[in-house]
Amino acid sequence: MFNVLKIDHIGIAVKDMEAAKKFYTEVLGMAVQGEEVVEQQKVKVCFIPSGDSEIELLESTSPDGPIAKFIEKNGEGVQHIALRVDNIEAALADLKAKGIRLIDEEPRYGAGAASIAFVHPKATGGILLELSERK
């Protein structure tokens, strides 16, 4: 079995991470942490903690990366919502058994050394849903 613990973060696709960071730091007075490039996803990521959750800014490192494609299609904005789960393997097995359409059948590496997997928007009412487990 598994439990959903909280909203872990909200992923926002941006064209220019430095410009986006300025809004959160200079206008809203928030602090940025944990900048990282995730090569596998062709994305540069940083986190902006807010209470128990975080905002994740995502900038593509390549014109053919998933974030670049998202922005091309939808413009900048919320790209996914991530729920923290206590056992991602159990969560994926359970969703698979329920016939839920998954993008990732196995957990993979996510920024901040999380184990992540995406659930298809067609299964969630239109939201790209990330499941995230942190040890």
Verify binding: residue 11, Zn ion, rule CB under 5 A.
yes
What are the b/e assignments for 87-114, b being 16+ CB within 10 Å? ebeebbeebeeeeeebeeeebeebbbeb
Least separation in angstroms between CB 127 and Zn ion: 12
Give the tokens for residue 19: 């410009």
Binding mask 52-81 for Zn ion (x = CB under 5 A): ----x-------------------------
**Per rule CB under 5 A, count of chain residues that contact Zn ion:** 4
Give the long-range contacts of residues 103-111, CB within 8 A, separation 24 or more. Answer: 107/133, 108/40, 109/38, 109/40, 110/38, 111/34, 111/36, 111/38, 111/45, 111/47, 111/56
Nearest distance, CB of residue 80 and Zn ion, angstroms: 6
Binding residue for Zn ion, selected from 82, 85, 95, 117, defined by CB under 5 A: 82
Output the residue with the shortest Cβ distance to Zn ion.
11
Alpha helices in 10-80 (DSSP H): 17-22, 66-74
- In whole angstroms, what is the distance from residue 99 CA to residue 55 CA? 30
Binding flags for Zn ion, 106-135, as an x/- string (CB under 5 A): ------------------------x-----
- In terms of CB distance, is 2 or 108 closer to Zn ion? 108
Stretch that binds Zn ion, among 10-18, 19-27, 69-77, 92-100 (CB under 5 A): 10-18
Q: Which residues bind Zn ion (CB under 5 A)?
A: 11, 56, 82, 130
